[in-house]
Amino acid sequence: MSTRHLLNDLAAICYPEPAFPEEDQTPPAERDAARAGTEEARAAFLAQLAAAEEGSGPDFDPLLNTLGNLVAIKKDADEKIRLLLAYGRIYTTPRPHTLEALGQAAGLTPSGVSRAFGAEEILQVGDRTGLRPAAADVSDHHPELFPEGTASQRRCTWGGSRTNPCTDAAKYIVTDKSGTRWACCDSHLPGYLRSRPRA
């Protein structure tokens, strides 16, 4: 059983009392609303902890649980940042966002932006949005060029969408301008490549 004391400490750390300095001009009604908002957030936090405690054994530790939840939020945000950087570099049209602009927004150096994502993120963005990057090259399909167990080893990942994937056998590899490889069936070749004689 977690002590009231510990729970209130956690709530106070995570949802601090709004502070208004002496010279602050915030109207009383707004101050009251801010305090009420904090109270509400703390109550929701404590309710969530109580539910988590109920769902776990006697070893439940609210401090460790709170840390775990925050780390999960951080990981989720980090993943979204990597996907958005990939989107900005590879998918935005008519031209990609610059490394400088993305870096400034994400608190990274330009080279940090380049290193923040790779083929996995590019494919993930394609999966989530249904978009495909500009294609740079097409070649014959070789399953061994894709990571073991990925869909691109067997079927077309260039055509279709997340909810309605193309199930046709992969016949080609489409390489986008970032160098990321996609498997492609006979009918989903990018338009301009289809009309171009293959080397």
The token duo for 59 is: 């070893």
Stretch that binds Zn ion, among 4-12, 98-106, 117-125, 180-188 (CB under 5 A): 180-188
Residue 185 makes contact with Zn ion by CB under 5 A: yes
List the one residue from 34, 69, 168, 175 that touches Zn ion (CB under 5 A): 168
Hey, what amino acid is at 138? V
Compute the least distance from the CB of residue 84 to Zn ion, in Å.
27
Give residues with Cβ within 8 angstroms of 49, minimum separation 6: 2, 7, 10, 62, 65, 66
Stretch that binds Zn ion, among 3-11, 34-42, 63-71, 156-164 (CB under 5 A): 156-164
Whole-angstrom distance, CA of residue 145 vs CA of residue 132: 19
Q: Assign 47 to helix, strand or coil.
A: helix
User: Max Cα separation, the chain?
Assistant: 75
Count of residues engaged in binding Zn ion, rule: CB under 5 A: 6
Compute the least distance from the CB of residue 140 to Zn ion, in Å.
15
Residue 159 makes contact with Zn ion by CB under 5 A: yes
Q: Which positions lie near Zn ion, rule CB under 5 A?
A: 156, 159, 166, 168, 185, 188
